[in-house]
Structure 1
Amino acid sequence: MDYQNCLLLILLLPFISAFLGYIIGKKNENYRDVLNIISTGIELVFVSMLFNKATHGGIDVFIPDIMGIGLYLKLDVFRYIFVWITSFVWFLISIYSNQYLIRYKNRNRYYAFFMLTLGSTIGIFLSENLLNLFTFFEIMSFTSYILVIHDEDKYAHEAGRSYLSMAVACGLVLLLGLFILYDYTATLNITQLPKAMEGLGNIRYLVSVFFIIGFGVKAAMFPLHIWLPKAHPAAPTPASAILSGILVKAGVFGIIITVNIMMESDMTLSIIIIVLGFINMFVGGFLAMFQRNVKRILAYSSMSQIGYIFVGIGLVGILGDHKAFAVYGTLYHIINHALFKVLLFLIAGIVYMVLHDLSINIVRGFGKHKKRLRLLFIVGMFAITGIPGFNGFISKNLIHEALIEAMHIYHNPWLTFANVIFTISSAFTVAYLLKIFVSLFIEQNEKYTGQYKKYIKKRAILPMVILSIVIIYIGIRPYKIFNMLKGVLPLFDVSHDITPHFYSFEIIKGTIITTLLGVVIYIGFIKRYLWKAMDNGEKIYVNPSLKWPSLEKNIYKPLIKITFESSSLVFHIIDKAVITVVKRITDFMKKISEMEIGTGKHREQFKQRMNSKAVVLASKTDEINGYVEHEVSSISDIMLRVRGNLNSLTYSIFIFAIMLIVALVVMVF
């Protein structure tokens, strides 16, 4: 088997399918749908076939003369985790989309960009060169933007603007980091960078911060998460599922590359990532409890769950020789989050597909008599809350064990406080999932008695059943995943392996306490303060957080406006100074060109004495005057061009200033 050609096929197949599908879809949409399912299925098969090779030596492909420095692809066991879960989820969502989008407009455009997004995502995970990775990263931003605005209504376009503006701005920050890195190291190959960065001094921290900002926006890292709660409700559910389950992992992948590989788990960066991780966990879970739209709840839930992964990434850095729990937990939760979050989004999509609404005040009671849908939701809910027997229980407890180990090593009160935040954030997860479950599947609503069953087709249920089976299987048999993850340990410099005991009394007790605390928060806070009676006696959920200050409206937009106005004033002064200099130089040169050579009296005397040469001299004088005038004109043109170039430079500096200020704000807060 030619593994290199197989790797290229994995990368190119989605792009080829996107263009073929678009052409075929113009004539026959059924053939296009079949093509997409077959293409994603072939993708999954070929990725699965590469498992043994990826875990035993890996695959490298280098194609010169692409992007200036060549296209460098690599598949090892670390990258394989991301590539396999991406191809697996995409295949299931392709089947699901066939039912979900049946009444949507612009389906042909959607599927084309759906496949292009798959190709660019695979490209990110396979890239061994950071310039290649950046290129695929930006392609993914633009192709997924089309998915976000697919409905083309006012809300979708507003969400798209937030998504694209954050992606482009932070992409520029990432590009700036690449420029600095290449200038100092003369390489962008990931395997060469750890050694190359050792002698950079503090400049490596500047590069790392730029990288964390650039990747952090896609990973929904606080405070760069503002696009997430807008984009998920706006996008069609299949797009929301890949945004939450897969595309955020592209940002996570970049942060792992930056912190754990390039910077070799630097202590300072690891502490920063841990702090940001706990903020993500707490803020995401807290805000999720207030929301009334099911997809918005799940969006903030994704922010919270990514926080667990950030904490794991940071713990890898601070635990030194005891990092095995953190490595296993982080990578395991990357897989688990993709599975249970996609499942929950697909269930929400079933509700929206039937009712065209996801407000729990409107859809409550919809699943009261839908046993299969309720059972599937229970699987997703138990997985994300970490109930024993489900996959989330394994990864969350691995990360928690790593945190406890850090507490024993450092005896730092901040780590004890972090453990409290971990428990409270996990309880928030129980509370907001109970809010959805009780509203959707327990409350009685006679208008949803069961007459909608005919709209729920088997091809929409099948992907959710498969996801549920996988969730339970790897929850009961976690060592199947452990055996795959062992190949990653050398990359993270893990000196010794572990054999964890998941179902000990202490771990089960901790899970029970967290679950009960979540139930208390649901009853004592959500049901008491967020479930209000109206004047007609009907009770509905309210969202007081809508009146709270907004990062986007109250901080980012005013900050950008102030920056723009102050920068405009400064550059207006610069423009006026340039104009004044150009005008004075022009006037001076004109005066030179208009100067007379001698007075009239001397000229007549000169003509009388040298009559024969006067004509020649006069002719030469005219030529000199013409030449001077021509040069003055040329100088004026040059200065005007200089002014234009300065204006272009001005705007470039202005863009850089915005990026720098955003970076400083992120570093400060």
Structure 2
Amino acid sequence: MVYKILLISIILIPIFGTIVGLLLGRKNEKYRNIFNILTCGIELLIVSALYKPVFSGGIEFVYPNIMATGLYLKLDPLRYIFVWMTIFAWFLTLIYSTQYLIKYKNRNRYYSFFMLTLSSTLGVFLSENILNLFTFFELMSFTSYALIIHDEEEYSHGAGRAYIIMAVTGSLILLMGLLLLFDYTGSLNISELGYKLRSLGGIKYLISWLIIFGFGVKSAMFPLHSWLPKAHPAAPTPASAVLSGILIKTGIFGILITVGELMEGDVLFSAIIGVLGLVNMVLGGFLAMFQTNVKKILAYSSMSQSGYLIFAIGLMGILNEEGGVAIQGTLYHAVSHAMFKVLLFLSIGIIYMVLHELDINKIRGFGKHKKTLKIVFLIGLLSSIGFPGFNGFVSKTLIHDALSKAHIMYNSSLFSVIEVLFTLSSSFTVAYMLKIFVTVFLEKNEHFTGQYKKYIKKRAIIPLIILGVFCIYTGLNPKFLINIINPSLDILNVTGVYVYSKIYTFKNINSSITSIFIGILIYTLFIKKYLRKEEDGKLIYKNPTLNWFKIDENIYIPIFLFVYRTSLKIFKYIDKCMVTVFRNIRKEYFREK
């Protein structure tokens, strides 16, 4: 009973914190900040304390007559990874926020929605009833929207508009899939749906693709990614950090549940998911290289890293019962990306705190003399490119091993092409991260020497150091995280566990170094030579993609306007017909009278 109370408290505590924090903030902002941090700290302690009971059999909480079908929460080893990762990142980001937001307006509103977003995000991961999951998913969209438009500038409102339109559209299509799902199966409990979908035939593919559409929006899956490069730069940096590091994972979690539990690793379905993930990996990395806004680079990077996760989920289904290594790679990279992406965003946020600028040409050389900031950003960089000794190396090695396993299993030359694209995507990551690091942290700029140290407080730096230590520890000690991940394989009915002692082999290290070397060449021969132009005696980066084809402006908006205007005319015609019919009926009625 105690464990059940603790389980429901994971969702309720942030809501309680929102109400109390809002009231405290009106009286004393310092007390509000302390209270919020304590609230999130208690959350982290509760989840950490639940480790043993969760891995001993899991915890469930059922309360009938809520949301029509009842509230059904579950914390098992798979969900635990996402829940702990979320609270840990949120706790550190909250500490950082108390420094970052000092000069911001509407701070009380920000913290309220920040805590509400935490509650709804945790609700997504804890829901065993898929209708509960949808409800929390929708709440998360609206609470995070308030974070995106927080600055209330024209760009923020435009980004928020793009985000909420995509989010609501995705949610409506997801709901359509859930209604069909319930109509055909009579159940909404995730653990039961896979068994019941087996006998449905072709309709299960329609249902699953409708569900994938909704989750695909949140995970920035191509071609539903257009909101991401707008929303992440618009939000305050702490919000961008959790949007990129954590909220994307709600979509990934949904895709994982759909492929692994609902479709039970259907090979054709998984193959298409894998292809979409591969497109994300390559396209996101390619577009990131062109950007000049640093947060946009990191936003497109998140699209690419999300692609690794979607690709790995696809591999899980392709490998079927042998897909254990793909799930290990998926969950390891979910945690790795959350940590190094939050670290990178918060590092850039410190620069914005001081300069109020994100253009790479204007912040050039700022970090050259900021040793601590340079080191923590470098850790994030090395993690993201998969350098040996950092967590990104472990997770990408696991995913690559799953790809090699699929290559051997199917013996198709197509997998050789995929191997090349996988390496190319990793090389793009090296190239765009070098673009940031070399320009901001290595180049000289006489305007920035050391006079800004007073703006960089410990409460902003300490979270970065903790994240950096985590990235290194889970990179050097893969056993720690893999042992936590392995029980999740039973939940998804896969085997083929990868032995962590095989990660640091010559072959894997050589593969990583090869992609890094290619990335350095791309940076040197393409980014420095092609994307830098001389202007007023200075070499500055240009972004030619500003004039390129845009999927939202050139496809989504015209389609939306066409459907809207056509529907308007159709319903106007129907309305006229109905008025005419009723008028004639009325005339006939009175004539008979």
TM-score by length of 2: 0.99
Q: Distance in 2 between the 1:4 and 1:322 partners?
A: 34
Provide the residue aligned with 1:78 in structure 2.
78
Provide the residue aligned with 1:455 in structure 2.
455
For residue 322 of structure 1, report the CA deviation from its aligned partner.
Answer: 2.2
Provide the residue aligned with 2:514 in structure 1.
513
Q: Distance in 2 between the 1:493 and 1:72 partners?
A: 22
Q: Distance in 1 between the 2:24 and 2:39 partners?
A: 14
- 350-359 or 565-574, which deviates more: 565-574
Q: Spell out the pairing of 1:476-515 with structure 2 (5 A cutoff).
A: 476-500=476-500, 501-515=502-516
**Cα deviation 1:437-478 (Å, max 9, x = unaligned):** 011011110010110011000110000000000110010000
Q: Spell out the pairing of 1:182-331 with structure 2 (5 A cutoff).
A: 182-331=182-331
Provide the residue aligned with 1:533 in structure 2.
534
**Cα deviation 1:156-212 (Å, max 9, x = unaligned):** 000000011111111111111111111111110111111111111111111101110
Q: Distance in 2 between the 1:407 and 1:195 partners?
A: 29
For residue 570 of structure 1, report the CA deviation from its aligned partner.
Answer: 2.5
Q: Distance in 2 between the 1:282 and 1:450 partners?
A: 38
Aligned residues: 592
Give the aligned residue type for 1:421: L
Q: Equivalent residue of 1:264, what SS?
A: coil
Q: Equivalent residue of 1:54, what SS?
A: helix
Q: Equivalent residue of 2:74, what SS?
A: strand
Give the aligned residue type for 1:393: F
Q: Equivalent residue of 2:494, what SS?
A: coil
Provide the residue aligned with 1:644 in structure 2.
none
Give the aligned residue type for 1:483: N
Q: Report the CA distance shift for 1:524/1:99 in structure 2 as closer, same or farther (over 3 A).
A: same
Provide the residue aligned with 1:554 in structure 2.
554
Q: Equivalent residue of 2:314, what SS?
A: helix
Q: Distance in 2 between the 1:288 and 1:274 partners?
A: 21
Give the aligned residue type for 1:262: L
For residue 514 of structure 1, report the CA deviation from its aligned partner.
Answer: 0.5
Provide the residue aligned with 1:116 in structure 2.
116
Q: Equivalent residue of 1:62, what SS?
A: strand
TM-score by length of 1: 0.88
For residue 489 of structure 1, report the CA deviation from its aligned partner.
Answer: 1.4
Q: Distance in 1 between the 2:54 and 2:246 partners?
A: 20
For residue 568 of structure 1, report the CA deviation from its aligned partner.
Answer: 2.4
Provide the residue aligned with 2:163 in structure 1.
163
Q: Distance in 1 between the 2:489 and 2:547 partners?
A: 47
For residue 413 of structure 1, report the CA deviation from its aligned partner.
Answer: 2.2
Provide the residue aligned with 2:130 in structure 1.
130
For residue 496 of structure 1, report the CA deviation from its aligned partner.
Answer: 4.5
Q: Spell out the pairing of 1:23-34 with structure 2 (5 A cutoff).
A: 23-34=23-34
Q: Distance in 2 between the 1:41 and 1:476 partners?
A: 27
Q: Contact 2:267–2:320 (CA<8 Å) still a contact in 1?
A: no
Give the aligned residue type for 2:170: C
Q: Spell out the pairing of 1:359-378 with structure 2 (5 A cutoff).
A: 359-378=359-378
For residue 133 of structure 1, report the CA deviation from its aligned partner.
Answer: 0.6
- 496-505 or 4-13, which deviates more: 496-505
Q: Distance in 2 between the 1:15 and 1:213 partners?
A: 29
Q: Tell me, which stretches of 5 or more residues in structure 2 are unaligned?
A: none
User: How well do the aligned residues superpose, as a CA RMSD in angstroms?
Assistant: 0.9
Q: Contact 2:193–2:262 (CA<8 Å) still a contact in 1?
A: yes
Q: Distance in 2 between the 1:566 and 1:9 partners?
A: 48
Q: Contact 2:99–2:460 (CA<8 Å) still a contact in 1?
A: yes
Q: Distance in 2 between the 1:571 and 1:416 partners?
A: 53
Q: Distance in 2 between the 1:103 and 1:571 partners?
A: 50
Q: Distance in 1 between the 2:219 and 2:383 partners?
A: 21
Q: Spell out the pairing of 1:258-657 with structure 2 (5 A cutoff).
A: 258-500=258-500, 501-534=502-535, 536-593=536-593
Q: Distance in 2 between the 1:498 and 1:275 partners?
A: 23
Q: Distance in 2 between the 1:298 and 1:495 partners?
A: 34
Q: Distance in 2 between the 1:587 and 1:75 partners?
A: 66
Give the aligned residue type for 1:172: L
For residue 577 of structure 1, report the CA deviation from its aligned partner.
Answer: 2.0
Q: Equivalent residue of 2:62, what SS?
A: strand
**Cα deviation 1:638-657 (Å, max 9, x = unaligned):** xxxxxxxxxxxxxxxxxxxx
For residue 575 of structure 1, report the CA deviation from its aligned partner.
Answer: 2.1
Give the aligned residue type for 1:519: I
Q: Contact 2:244–2:302 (CA<8 Å) still a contact in 1?
A: yes
Higher RCO (CA-CA < 8 Å; seq separation 6+):
2
For residue 306 of structure 1, report the CA deviation from its aligned partner.
Answer: 0.5
Q: Distance in 2 between the 1:583 and 1:463 partners?
A: 71
Q: Distance in 2 between the 1:297 and 1:330 partners?
A: 23
Q: Contact 2:329–2:395 (CA<8 Å) still a contact in 1?
A: yes
The share of aligned pairs that are identical, in percent, is: 55
